[in-house]
Structure 1
Amino acid sequence: MDGTLVDTEHQWLATVAGFLRDQGAPAGDEVVTSFAGAPVDDAAARLVRDHGIRIGLTRTATLLDRDFTARVAAGVAVQPGALRLLDRAEELGIPAALVTASERHVADLVLRTLGAHRFALSVTSGEAPRGKPHPDPYLVAAAGLGVDPARCLAVEDTPTGAAAALAAGCRLLAVPTVPGIVPGPRTAVVASLEDVELTDLPFPRAA
């Protein structure tokens, strides 16, 4: 969701950067982008453990969630090609699931923009045994759709999300917002969803 369907990945990274600056911690690009795709609780744990944040885990998570939610509530931009791709999936009879590391209340804000009717179900932070980069969110979504994960196409923009999708057995369509996703037999990388046609996906063809 964040960075693939709507441009919230940059809002999340801005949240992390602002938090680090407020706490007097280094907020360089390499540090900030390492949090791309991370759930709030995981990000808070890393900030406390690795970046010298002294206000505690609960307070850190609360501040991150409050700032990010406010940014999303103020409005999100739909990524180019996202609605066309979702509507094309519906035309072809392909069910869609929203799988995100964001909290439920953030996902619900985004669903208002995208149109909840475009999704058969959604899986948010805390609704699977483990979050991304573990495969659990995609496994839960595939089970909810009643399909084998190997028949699913995951759309991701960060290495964290990509790792989750591939570990679940999905094919991966990557639209990167940060470096680190490498093309492969089950991974296609595109610059924009505008470049994607579901009946002609850019994966290597069998010889």
Structure 2
Amino acid sequence: MTTSTEPARPAAVLWDMDGTLLDSEKLWDIAVAELSERHGYAMTPELRESTLGNSMTDALTKVFDASGVPVDERDHAADERWLLDRVAQLFAVDLPWRPGAFEALTTIAAAGIPMALVTNTVRELTDQALDTIGPHFFTVTVCGDEVEHGKPAPDPYLRAAALLGVEASQCVAVEDSPTGTQSAVAAGCTTIVVPSAADVPQGPRRRFRRSLDGLTILDLARHD
């Protein structure tokens, strides 16, 4: 009897969107900075980095806290609407790919491995971004407003795996931010980390790459 030495292929590949597939964090930079200015606060690099990969609620709360907006004067709904509209405007002007992302999607699709898009971005903006990415790549998509708790909680990745009918521990996630990586690892995914706007700490179930350029199926081996 022979034992296969081939690495375990993932049951599915679960992709983050902003900063991983799309170079869109720079567009969120603009919108979050403008929102901060609306509250009389000049956004710092530390504030922006703290919001990377966050859910809308968490990001707004951090802007309110930094800006000193009293709790009873915080209009989450109005500021969320303003931020979504502003980001939609920026997405409509230009929505560039991260290096190697389109080629990686094409390679994995050709290998017949199911894929999911798992993002903290809300559905309306995700659907706009999918016009650029191509919805045909994904069997399912999970957005931040479709789970009880967004990243860094494991909920988005657990939901994606459940919709695909597989265990999250049998999947590989691809992430760029500390928040997203924490979410994927907490769900049990082996996680390929390609940092974009913020450093991601080392930890279990994490493999680091400088970019998605040259990503192969062998690079997607799980950590079982």
What does residue 98 of structure 1 align with?
Answer: 117
Q: Which of residues 52, 58, 62 in structure 2 aligns to 1:42?
A: 58
Q: What is the aligned-residue RMSD (CA, Å)?
A: 1.9
TM-score between the two structures when normalised by the length of structure 2: 0.85
What does residue 178 of structure 1 align with?
Answer: 197
Structure 1: give runs of 5+ residues left out of the alignment.
none
Distance in 2 (CA, whole Å) between partners of 1:191 and 1:80 is: 10
Aligned residues: 205
Given residue 34 of structure 1, which amino acid in structure 2 is its aligned partner? S
Distance in 2 (CA, whole Å) between partners of 1:189 and 1:183 is: 8
Q: Which of residues 122, 129, 133 in structure 1 aligns to 2:141?
A: 122
What does residue 81 of structure 1 align with?
Answer: 100
TM-score between the two structures when normalised by the length of structure 1: 0.91
Equivalent residues of 1:86, 1:118 under 8 A apart: yes
What does residue 161 of structure 1 align with?
Answer: 180
Residue 59 (structure 1) shift: 2.0
Q: Which of residues 172, 184, 191 in structure 1 aligns to 2:210?
A: 191
What does residue 132 of structure 1 align with?
Answer: 151
Equivalent residues of 2:117, 2:140 under 8 A apart: yes
Given residue 114 of structure 1, which amino acid in structure 2 is its aligned partner? I
Identical-residue share of aligned pairs (%) = 37
Given residue 60 of structure 2, which amino acid in structure 1 is its aligned partner? A
User: C-alpha deviations, 1:23-52, integer Å up to 9, x for none?
Assistant: 211311111221111122221223224432
Distance in 2 (CA, whole Å) between partners of 1:200 and 1:180 is: 21
Given residue 66 of structure 1, which amino acid in structure 2 is its aligned partner? D
Between 193-202 and 11-20, the greater mean CA deviation after superposition: 193-202
- Asked which structure has the greater CA Rg, the reply is 2
User: C-alpha deviations, 1:91-122, integer Å up to 9, x for none?
Assistant: 21110000011111111111111111011010
Change in Cα spacing, 1:174 to 1:67, as seen in structure 2 (3 Å) is: same
Change in Cα spacing, 1:153 to 1:181, as seen in structure 2 (3 Å) is: same
Structure 1 position 13 matched with structure 2 position 29: yes
Residue 203 (structure 1) shift: 7.9
Residue 55 (structure 1) shift: 5.5
